[in-house]
Amino acid sequence: MSRADPTCSPNDGIAKLVDNHKDRFAAGVATLAFNNPDAALTEIDRAIEDLGLRGIQIGTDVNGRPLDSPDLMAVYETMASHDLPIFIHPSRNYLAPDYPGEVESKYNLFSLIGWPHATSMAMMRLACSGILERFPTLKFITHHAGGTIPYLAKRIELADRRELPRPIGDYLRLFFGDTAVQGNTANLICARTFFGPDHLLFGTDFPFNRNISMNLRTIEEMGIPIPDTEKILKENARRLLRLT
Amino acid sequence: MSRADPTCSPNDGIAKLVDNHKDRFAAGVATLAFNNPDAALTEIDRAIEDLGLRGIQIGTDVNGRPLDSPDLMAVYETMASHDLPIFIHPSRNYLAPDYPGEVESKYNLFSLIGWPHATSMAMMRLACSGILERFPTLKFITHHAGGTIPYLAKRIELADRRELPRPIGDYLRLFFGDTAVQGNTANLICARTFFGPDHLLFGTDFPFNRNISMNLRTIEEMGIPIPDTEKILKENARRLLRLT
C-alpha cells in the first residue's frame, strides 16, 4: 500500500488490520468522505466488495447538515442494496456553542450530553422525514444505546403528529443500539425495554472507556434470560454484519 | 384587582386561585420577568411573603442566556434565603434551528427531544459553574425527571474533569425531578435509581398530558416500597414547599 496509490484510504488500513488479526476483529466498517457524494458511493462499493468491510460509519451530521439531507439518499439506497448497517457516531464538537451569546461549548457539554442528543436528533430526522419508511431494510446502529431516544420514547410517541403510515415508535424501534453506557444498568434496561433484545449489540466505547469488564457486567446486571444475552453479545452482530 | 394596579401580576392571579380552591391546590409558584433583575427580586419577596406562593419558576434559559449567568446570582441568593424551590421549565422554542443551515426546528423536535436536552444543559451549567457549591441549600425541581441526566449520568461521571470540591454526580443528585414521564416506567426507574426516592416528586405535565391515572400507574409500576411512594406522592413536596 503506497501513499501515492489513489485508492489508498483509511479503509485499506482497516481491512488490513482485520485480515491480519482475525482472532481479534470479526469485521471492520468503512469511513467515507461525504463531502464528495459520488466518490463516497464508489468507495462504499470498493470497501464492501473488494476490501470485505461490513458496513459504513456516518456522523450524526455531515458538515452540519442533517442525515435526511437529499444528497445522502443515494448512500442509503446503496447500503440497503448491500444489506449492511450504517453506524452512526456523534460528530458535534466544541465549536458549536450551546447558547446564542457564547463562542464555544463550555464544560465539555458538547460531548457529555451533546453527543447523545445529536444521536437522538439524527434518529428523529431519519424517522420523521420518512427515510426509514422509504428504505425499510436499511439498518442503523446507534452509539450509547440509541442516544436518549429510549428514555424519551413515551414523550415522543404521545406528542407525535407526523403524517407517516406507521406510528413514530415503530420507526424508532428499527434502529439498533450498542451497550456502551459506562455501567449505567438502569439506562441499559430502559434501552432494552424500548428496543428489545434483537436490537442491542455489545459495545465498549474503547478507548474512551477501557473497562471492558464493566461493559459485560452491565449486561449481566440487567438480569435478562441467557438467550437474550447471547443475542446482545454475538448473534445480533453476526446477523447484521452477515458474518459466517 | 384592577388592571391599572402596578402590583398586578400573574402571581396575584395564581395566589387567588390557590386561596379560592384550597381543596385542589396545595400551593402555587411565582412567574417572574427576569429581563428586569431588580424588579424580579422585589417580586419574589412580594410573591412569597405577601401572596404566600411557595417557589418560583424559571426557564432553562433566560432570553437565551444560560442559568449560570452572573445576573441570576441575586435570584439564587434570594431563593436560598427563602428556603423555597426553583422550578425549571424548558423554554426552547421552534425558532432555534437544530442544524446550522435551517431557519427553524423541524418536526417539533425543539420540544420533543429539545426540551429534555435543554433541561440537562441547564442542570449541567448550574452544577459545573459551581452555583450548587456556592448555594448548597438551594433547591431546583426539574421537569420530566431531570431531563436526560439520569440516563447519561455514568457517562457524565466517567468523563468529568471539573475542578469542583465534589464529584459532578454529587451536585447533579441535589436536583429534584418530577415524575411526568408519560408512562415510561423504565425511564422513571432510571431516574429513581439516580436521584433516590427523596428527590422525586409526583408530576403530571397537565394539560399536555391529561391522563393523570397513567402518571400514578407509572409510579406503581416501579415496584418500590410504600414509604418511598408516599415520599414521591406527598412528603417530598410537603418538605420542599414547607407546607403545613
More confident site: A35 or B147: B147
Q: What is the mean pLDDT of residues B34-47?
A: 94
The C-alpha atoms of residue A224 and residue A226 are separated, in whole angstroms, by 7
Predicted confidence (pLDDT) per residue in B79-93, tens digit: 999 999 999 999 988
More confident site: A41 or A209: A41
Interface touch B121/A108, C-beta < 8 Å: no
Residue B207 above 90 pLDDT? no
What's the CA dihedral at A8, A10, A12, A13 to 10 degrees?
A: 120
State residue B216's pLDDT score. Answer: 95
Among B242, B212, B217, B214, smallest CA distance to B24 is for B212
State residue A226's pLDDT score. Answer: 97
Residues B177 and B201 sit within 8 Å (Cβ to Cβ): yes
Residues of B in contact with A112 (CB under 8 A): 124, 152, 155-156, 159-160
**Which pLDDT band, with edges at 50, 70 and 90, does A1 fall under?**
very low
Distance of CA A135 to the CA centre of its chain: 16
Predicted confidence (pLDDT) per residue in B210-221, tens digit: 889 999 999 999
The C-alpha atoms of residue B160 and residue B176 are separated, in whole angstroms, by 21
The grid coordinates of residue B228 equal 418511598
Residue/partner pairs of B106-112 with CB below 8 Å, 24 or more apart: B106/A125, B106/A128, B107/A124, B107/A125, B107/A128, B107/A129, B107/A162, B108/A159, B108/A160, B108/A161, B109/A121, B109/A124, B109/A125, B109/A128, B111/A159, B112/A124, B112/A152, B112/A155, B112/A156, B112/A159, B112/A160
B170–chain A nearest CA distance, Å: 16
**Which of 124-153 (A) contact B at CB < 8 A?**
124-125, 128-129, 144, 148-153
Q: Mean pLDDT for chain B? A: 93
Work out the percent of chain A whose per-residue pLDDT is above 70: 95
Residues A242 and A84 sit within 8 Å (Cβ to Cβ): yes
**Which pLDDT band, with edges at 50, 70 and 90, does B2 fall under?**
very low
State residue A205's pLDDT score. Answer: 86
**Which pLDDT band, with edges at 50, 70 and 90, does A7 fall under?**
low
Predicted confidence (pLDDT) per residue in B174-202, tens digit: 999 999 988 899 999 999 999 999 999 99
The C-alpha atoms of residue B145 and residue A88 are separated, in whole angstroms, by 27
Q: What is the mean pLDDT of residues B223-229?
A: 96
Predicted confidence (pLDDT) per residue in A134-185, tens digit: 999 999 999 999 999 999 999 999 877 668 999 999 999 999 999 998 889 9
Residue B128 above 80 pLDDT? yes
pTM of the prediction?
0.94
Q: What is the mean pLDDT of residues A22-42?
A: 94
Q: Mean pLDDT for chain A? A: 93
State residue A71's pLDDT score. Answer: 93
Q: Is B98 on the interface with A (CB under 8 A)?
A: yes
**Residue B25: how many other CB atoms lie within 10 Å:** 12
What's the CA dihedral at B93, B99, B102, B107 to 10 degrees?
A: -50
State residue B5's pLDDT score. Answer: 55
Residue B4 above 50 pLDDT? no
The C-alpha atoms of residue A14 and residue A46 are separated, in whole angstroms, by 13
Q: What is the mean pLDDT of residues B34-38?
A: 89
State residue B209's pLDDT score. Answer: 81
* Residue in A64, A124, A125 nearest the CB of B100: A64
State residue B158's pLDDT score. Answer: 85
Q: Which residue of B has its CA nearest to A152?
A: B113
Is residue A85 reached through a cis peptide bond, with omega within 30 degrees of 0 on the bond before it?
Answer: no
Predicted confidence (pLDDT) per residue in A223-233, tens digit: 999 999 999 99
State residue A80's pLDDT score. Answer: 97
State residue B1's pLDDT score. Answer: 41
State residue A84's pLDDT score. Answer: 98
Residue A2 above 60 pLDDT? no
Residue B106 above 80 pLDDT? yes
- CA distances from residue A14 to A2, A40, B185, B218 in whole angstroms, order as listed: 15, 17, 42, 47
First to last CA, chain A: 28
Work out the percent of chain B whose per-residue pLDDT is above 90: 84
**Which pLDDT band, with edges at 50, 70 and 90, does A4 fall under?**
very low
* Residue in B125, B151, B160 nearest the CB of A148: B151
Among B159, B227, B7, smallest CA distance to A114 is for B159
Q: Which residue of B has its CA nearest to A67?
A: B99
State residue A207's pLDDT score. Answer: 85
Predicted confidence (pLDDT) per residue in A118-139, tens digit: 999 999 999 999 999 999 999 9
B189–chain A nearest CA distance, Å: 7
Coil, strand, or helix at residue A58? strand
ipTM of the complex: 0.92
State residue A166's pLDDT score. Answer: 93
Residues A194 and A164 sit within 8 Å (Cβ to Cβ): no
B99–chain A nearest CA distance, Å: 6
Q: What is the mean pLDDT of residues A98-120?
A: 94
Which backbone phi and psi does B201 adopt, to 5 degrees? Answer: -130, 140
The C-alpha atoms of residue A237 and residue A27 are separated, in whole angstroms, by 10
Residue B161 above 70 pLDDT? no
State residue A5's pLDDT score. Answer: 55
Within a 13 Å sphere around the CA of A230, how many CA atoms are in the beta-carbon half? 3
Interface touch A181/B153, C-beta < 8 Å: no
Determine which of B72-76, B189-193, B205-209, B218-222 has the lowest per-residue pLDDT on average: B205-209
Residue A30 above 60 pLDDT? yes
State residue B3's pLDDT score. Answer: 43
